[in-house]
């Protein structure tokens, strides 16, 4: 067993850390408070090739291993978790197109997505269907030489920049089982009837837009059907979400690391009753717990990423990493706020933003309660073993 990063991964992490320290940290608080879209940061990420993380090299991508992908989301989230969201759903969608798309779809979309010239996301959630994707109501009826989509999607990151936007829809509403009638279609952002109707207000996760999308008689050609075969959509989406959970878990590690760093620094500066508060046992116990749980979360994330890199099924491992890391991020953000005292409640201090950003990871990419059932199912089926 090797718990160390490779030389290449360490160099990659150092490059990412320098980028975050020089271009994200100095503006994060001001831009987040103003609701300003980080166009300049996006431009730098394009030049660094980060939009091609999950795109094969033959299409101009980086074809990064999953541990390196985790490093990207961890390091960027230390500076500003919202910026990581711009890459998150884009990378997931690119992975899905690269894995399941036809040769024509890959040639048509992946080069421009890898360069960041175009971006993408993924439209799954609906007002009445979140964790239960088989409950979606969006339909895509076959008509002529293509499909006509109708429905409403919500909580869609990158919706205003996604082109194409993969949409999960029911191509056969009468299919039994339900998933046999579900497909993914790649929708052109300029298609008549496709409309981003509003940006949703959020507690945190500022930076990327998160929108509600309406599809009203949106026509797409048959060539827009991902993979060219109907009824494969749910399987395609669930496989992509395994990689998505690694990215969300890594974001949680980044938030937890920043919360710990801020708490450690502040405790070494703040004085009370004639001494640094880091000298009080109550604060020391909090710092020790944060450090232990943070490192355990990081190792879980790298373990899940390594398993995915080896080509093995990793739904249980990515689920474990996402659940544990997200809950550690929540705990570390709250503890850092406690250590800061009243200043932790002020928007002038970073920990206030971390406290608002952390809950997203508990909810996003499959709620933690749902993922606990996924983990339990893997254990009870004998498909996975612990120890």
CATH number at 193 reads 2.40.110.10
CB-CB contact of 321 with 82 (8 Å): no
Residue 1 has pLDDT above 80, yes or no: no
Rounded average pLDDT over 333-339: 98
Rounded average pLDDT over 358-362: 97
Residue 385 has pLDDT above 80, yes or no: no
Rounded CA Rg of the chain: 21
Residues 168 and 239 in one domain: no
- Euclidean distance between CA atoms 204 and 202, whole angstroms: 5
Residues 67 and 12 in one domain: yes
Q: Answer yes or no: is 338 within a domain.
A: yes
Residues 41 and 90 in one domain: yes
228-279: per-residue pLDDT in tens?
999 999 999 999 998 899 999 999 999 999 999 999 999 999 999 999 999 9
Q: Answer yes or no: is 124 within a domain.
A: no
| pLDDT at res. 166 | 98
User: What are the structure tokens assigned to 56, written together?
Assistant: 């094969």
How many CB atoms neighbour CB 3 within 10 A? 7
Q: Answer yes or no: is 122 within a domain.
A: no
- Euclidean distance between CA atoms 351 and 92, whole angstroms: 28
Q: Answer yes or no: is 201 within a domain.
A: yes
Identify the domain boundary among 191, 215, 231. 231
Phi, psi at 144, each rounded to 5°: 65, -130
53-65: per-residue pLDDT in tens?
999 999 999 999 9
Residues 251 and 224 in one domain: no
Residues 216 and 182 in one domain: yes
Mean pLDDT value across the chain: 96
- Interhelix angle for 368-380 vs 315-340, to 10°? 140
Residues 257 and 376 in one domain: yes
Q: Is 192 exposed, middle or buried (0-12, 13-18, 19+ CB in 10 A)?
A: exposed
| pLDDT at res. 99 | 97
CB-CB contact of 71 with 84 (8 Å): no
Residues 104 and 190 in one domain: no
Residues 218 and 241 in one domain: no
CB neighbours of 370 closer than 8 A, spacing ≥ 6?
Answer: 131
Q: Model-level pTM?
A: 0.96
| pLDDT at res. 3 | 81
Identify the domain boundary among 194, 213, 231. 231
| pLDDT at res. 382 | 83
User: What are the structure tokens assigned to 322, written together?
Assistant: 């996402």
3-state secondary structure of 177: coil
Residues 255 and 372 in one domain: yes
| pLDDT at res. 312 | 86
Q: How many domains does the chain have?
A: 3
Residues 148 and 241 in one domain: no
CA-wise closest residue to 250 among 309, 316, 324: 324
Residues 246 and 297 in one domain: yes
CATH classification of the domain holding 53? 1.10.540.10
102-135: per-residue pLDDT in tens?
999 999 999 999 999 999 999 999 999 988 999 9
CATH classification of the domain holding 248? 1.20.140.10
Q: Answer yes or no: is 127 within a domain.
A: no
How many CB atoms neighbour CB 208 within 10 A? 26
Percent of the chain's residues with pLDDT above 70: 100
CB-CB contact of 146 with 91 (8 Å): no
365 is catalytic: yes
Tally of residues, the chain: 387
Catalytic hit among 74, 209, 327, 365: 365
CB-CB contact of 121 with 158 (8 Å): yes
| pLDDT at res. 63 | 97
CA-wise closest residue to 292 among 263, 255, 330, 332: 332
Identify the domain boundary among 207, 231, 255. 231
Residues 364 and 247 in one domain: yes
Q: Answer yes or no: is 2 within a domain.
A: no
Q: Answer yes or no: is 120 within a domain.
A: no
User: Containing domain of residue 52, as a range?
Assistant: 7-115
161-195: per-residue pLDDT in tens?
999 999 999 999 999 999 999 999 999 999 999 99
Beta-bridged to residue 327, according to DSSP, are: none
Rounded average pLDDT over 329-357: 97
pLDDT band at 313 (very low <50, low <70, confident <90, very high): confident
Rounded average pLDDT over 19-36: 96
User: What are the structure tokens assigned to 134, written together?
Assistant: 């088989």
Q: Answer yes or no: is 385 within a domain.
A: no
């Amino acid at each position: 067993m090797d718990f160390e990063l490779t030389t290449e991964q360490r160099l990659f992490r150092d490059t990412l850390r320098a980028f975050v320290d020089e271009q994200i940290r100095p503006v994060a608080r001001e831009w987040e408070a103003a609701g300003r879209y980080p166009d300049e940061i996006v431009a730098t990420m394009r030049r660094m090739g980060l939009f091609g993380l999950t795109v094969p090299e033959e299409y101009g991508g980086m074809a990064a291993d999953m541990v390196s992908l985790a490093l990207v989301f961890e390091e960027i989230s230390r500076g500003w978790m919202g910026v990581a969201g711009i890459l998150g759903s884009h990378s997931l969608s690119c992975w899905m197109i690269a894995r399941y798309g036809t040769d024509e779809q890959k040639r048509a979309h992946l080069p421009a997505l890898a360069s960041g010239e175009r971006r993408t996301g993924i439209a799954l959630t609906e007002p009445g269907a979140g964790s239960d994707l088989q409950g979606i109501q969006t339909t895509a009826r076959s008509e002529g030489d293509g499909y006509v989509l109708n429905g409403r999607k919500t909580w869609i990151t990158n919706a205003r920049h996604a082109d194409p936007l993969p949409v999960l829809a029911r191509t056969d509403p009468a299919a039994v089982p339900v998933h046999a009638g579900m497909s993914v279609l790649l929708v052109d952002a300029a298609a008549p009837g496709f409309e981003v109707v509003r940006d949703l207000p959020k507690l945190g996760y500022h930076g990327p837009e998160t929108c509600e999308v309406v599809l009203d008689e949106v026509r797409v050609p048959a060539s827009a059907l991902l993979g060219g075969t109907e009824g494969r959509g749910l399987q395609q989406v669930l496989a992509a979400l395994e990689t998505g959970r690694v990215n969300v878990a890594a974001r949680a590690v980044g938030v937890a690391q920043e919360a710990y760093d801020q708490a450690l620094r502040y405790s070494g500066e703040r004085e009370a009753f004639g001494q640094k508060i880091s000298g009080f046992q109550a604060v020391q116990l909090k710092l020790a717990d944060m450090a232990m749980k943070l490192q355990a979360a990081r190792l879980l994330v790298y373990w899940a990423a390594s398993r995915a890199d080896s080509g093995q099924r990793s739904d249980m491992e990515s689920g474990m990493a996402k659940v544990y890391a997200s809950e550690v991020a929540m705990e570390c953000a709250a503890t850092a706020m406690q250590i800061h005292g009243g200043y932790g409640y002020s928007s002038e201090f970073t920990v206030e933003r971390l406290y608002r950003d952390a809950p997203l990871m508990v909810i996003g990419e499959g709620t933690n309660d749902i993922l606990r059932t996924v983990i339990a199912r893997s254990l009870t089926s004998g498909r996975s073993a612990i120890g």
